[in-house]
Structures are given as C-alpha cells and as structure tokens.
Structure 1
Amino acid sequence: MRAAVLALLLAPAAWAQTVPEPDTYRGEPYRAPVPATLTGAQVIGIDEAVALHEAGAAFVDAMPRKARPEGLPEGTLWNEPPHQTIPGALWLWNTGYQALAPAEEARLRDGLTRAQQDDPDRPLVIFCRADCWMSWNAARRAVEWGFDPVLWFPGGTDAWEQAGRPLVIADPVAP
C-alpha cells in the first residue's frame, strides 16, 4: 500500500503537462489550462505584472460581462454583479471569445488604441483570470493587429489577489 501511494506521488501529474499553443483562437471551455506561450507576446508572472503596473503600463481586462439570465419573468429586477479588476485596468468585456461580433472586435481594437494613450510603445498587459483563454485570445488578436508591446498575464486577477494586491470594482467600457 505504501509503495503504491509513493509511486502515485512520484508519478508526473497530469496537470503538469504542457498545454500546446493552438494555431487559432480557443473556444469552449474557456476556463481550462492555458499554454505557457503566446507567439508574438511576452508572457509575464505576478512580479513582472506588479512592476509594470507601478511603471504605468496599460492593463486590459478581457473578462466577459455577466448577462441578464434568460427566462426571468417580466418586471423582475436584475442587478449585474460587480466585476473586480486590477486598479486602473480598462475592462474590455466580451472581447476574448473565439469569434467576435463586429461590436466586440471594435471595442477591443478601439480600447487597445485608447489604452496606449497615443504612445505606441506603452506596454499592453492583457489578462482575465487564471486558466482562462479569454485573455489569451484577446492578446493574440492584439499581436495580429500589430499592437506592440503585448504582454500576456495568464495569472490575471487571481494571481494579483493571491499576491495581496487590491482589486477594484470595474466600470465596463461603453458598448
């Protein structure tokens, strides 16, 4: 019994396997292990994210916006739950899906341009939550559209909060 337990502990864990970088945008499920790379972008961890935040880099949150639940009876009040993000981040909601509608594509492109504040050298740090493909997809689009430098922060708000950094309530960018 002890030998079997020891063998399991010493065996490579399935979660430790590398996720390959796909050739295209990733769809469902969006909450799943992500690759360690994003061609054309620099991948950063929490220490780099904090340093970039303190240096004034642009932070872009690609987390989707919670929609009003379908099937609510007419007249039912629904309050959108607050979205927490990294202080100063621009919340470009619904811009990390595999396929984007024209409105979401415009929101992402215009938002990235606005985030750089007329400084094409201002780093764009794109994130959402840990193990979320939304930020990977949004950062990939930024690279393909010629934005530079693009930095992908796969730990996102989860890593930020775990590092003891504060989160704030975000206002969504107008549609």
Structure 2
Amino acid sequence: MTRPGPAMRRIIPALAWLVLAVGGVVLSGHGPGGSAAQAQTAAVDGVAVPEPEDYRTEAYRAPVPATLVGGTVIDTETAERLHGEGVAFIDVLPRPPRPDLPAGTLWRERPRNDIPGSLWLVDTGYGALTPAMEAYLLDGLATATGRDKTRPLVIYCDRDCWMSYNAAKRAIRAGYEAVYWYPDGVQGWAEAGNDLAANQPEPRPDE
C-alpha cells in the first residue's frame, strides 16, 4: 500500500476532527462524573444546552444541560457506585394527575417503578414552589441525610426532565454540599440492567 504523502498526512487528522464535530462527539473532559454521551444528549442540533440563571419554569420535558453549578453531574456507573455506598437517592418526578371520576369512585394510584430505596418527593421539581411544597422538599432532604448537609444526595427523575435539575439546584441553594445530579434517571438505571422497585410518594403537605 502506498503511504500518504506529507500533505495528505496533514489533511487526514483534520478530516477526522470534522467527522467527530459533525457527529456531535466531543472527546474532552466534562467535569466530575461527566461523559461524552452526556455531552451528546445535552445538545440540541449540536448546540449545548446552557444552564439558566434561575430555575426552569416551563417545557420541563426537554434536553437538559451537561453541567450543574455547585453540584456534580453523574452517569449511571457513578450512580450505581453511590447507591451501593448507601447514598440517599431522591426522586422528584411529579405525581400522575388523578382522573376525573364520579363521586365515590375508588381510585388507587399506580406505583412508580423506581430506583430501589429512593425517597419520592413528588412535585418538588417545578420552577416555582409554594412555601408548603418547598418545606416538603427540604424536610424530605433533611430526613434523607439525617439533617447533615455534608452528606451526599443523588437527585433524579426521568431522562430529559428539568424537574431533577431544578430540585438539585434548590438543594444546593439550601446549603447541601454534596449534591449529585443524575440526569439519565430511571431510564438510564434500567437500561444498564439494574432492578427497579415499586415506590409510593411521600405524602404531600396538602394530603
């Protein structure tokens, strides 16, 4: 086989870089717990999703950032390790709406297939919370950590859901020092072959 000449040897790396760039893969560091896969899923049409200055208040089901200021974004492998170490896992997925049923109809809420051992604090990932719901979130975090804000927390819900981003940011602002955000959530956990367990939410303050 004829070896490429000097000019071609200069062109080949540039072409390889172009293929990677067009494909949306960036081979570089992504901060603690980051990965190239996370960088890809956190992009829309090749443009990285920026963190907002405050909480996300609309379009919660959408691609999320690959970063969390003050916290650590983790992948499934890290989530598995932390789970094995007994770190508290907090699910913030909203509760499914109750159907409009005739008076007197018995309705049982369907359990969520969740990461085992998680504390499910429903409806706490919205951009705006009432004082009662914010207290519900913070009381739940305090219970999960034994009121020790240096203890780690893993906060998640479903993939491509800003609810977990908002809740993780709220925990950081409340003074928690080791907040891990798991943006792949239940889907990433299950896709890795991990078991799920039926879970019920902690009662809201209005229940």
TM range, smaller chain: 0.7 to 0.9
Amino acid at match of 2:70: G
What corresponds to 1:52 in structure 2? Answer: 82
Question: Distance in 2 between the 1:48 and 1:110 partners?
Answer: 26
Could you tell me whether the CA contact under 8 Å between 2:158 and 2:187 is conserved in 1? yes
Please list every run of 5 or more consecutive structure 2 residues that lacks an aligned counterpart in the other structure: 1-20, 25-43
Identity rate, percent: 52
Could you tell me whether the CA contact under 8 Å between 1:121 and 1:148 is conserved in 2? yes
Could you tell me whether the CA contact under 8 Å between 1:67 and 1:80 is conserved in 2? no
What corresponds to 2:161 in structure 1? Answer: 132
- When structure 1 is superposed on structure 2, of 72-81 and 161-170 the one drifting more is 72-81
Question: Distance in 2 between the 1:40 and 1:148 partners?
Answer: 8
1:88 correspondence with 2:128 = no
Amino acid at match of 1:158: Q
Compute the displacement of 1:15 (Å). 4.1
Question: Distance in 1 between the 2:62 and 2:45 partners?
Answer: 11
CA spacing shift, 1:74–1:118, aligned 2, 3 Å: closer
2:149 pairs, out of 96, 102, 120, with 120
1:28 correspondence with 2:58 = yes
Deviation by residue 1:80-118 (Cα, 9 ceiling, x = unmatched): 221121111100110000101122101110011111124
- When structure 1 is superposed on structure 2, of 10-19 and 29-38 the one drifting more is 10-19
1:73 correspondence with 2:137 = no
Q: More relative contact order in 1 or in 2 (CA 8 Å, sep 6+)?
A: 1
Give the aligned length. Answer: 165
Question: Distance in 2 between the 1:119 and 1:146 partners?
Answer: 10
Provide the alpha-carbon RMSD of the alignment: 1.6
Larger Rg: 2
Compute the displacement of 1:11 (Å). 4.7
Per the normalisation by structure 2, the TM-score is 0.75
Q: Extract structure 1 runs of 4+ deviating beyond 3 A.
A: 10-16
Per the normalisation by structure 1, the TM-score is 0.88
Amino acid at match of 1:102: P
Amino acid at match of 1:111: G
State the SS of the aligned residue for 1:74. coil
Please list every run of 5 or more consecutive structure 1 residues that lacks an aligned counterpart in the other structure: 1-9
CA spacing shift, 1:85–1:48, aligned 2, 3 Å: same
CA spacing shift, 1:78–1:161, aligned 2, 3 Å: same
Compute the displacement of 1:79 (Å). 2.5
State the SS of the aligned residue for 1:112. helix
Amino acid at match of 1:133: W
Could you tell me whether the CA contact under 8 Å between 2:149 and 2:175 is conserved in 1? no
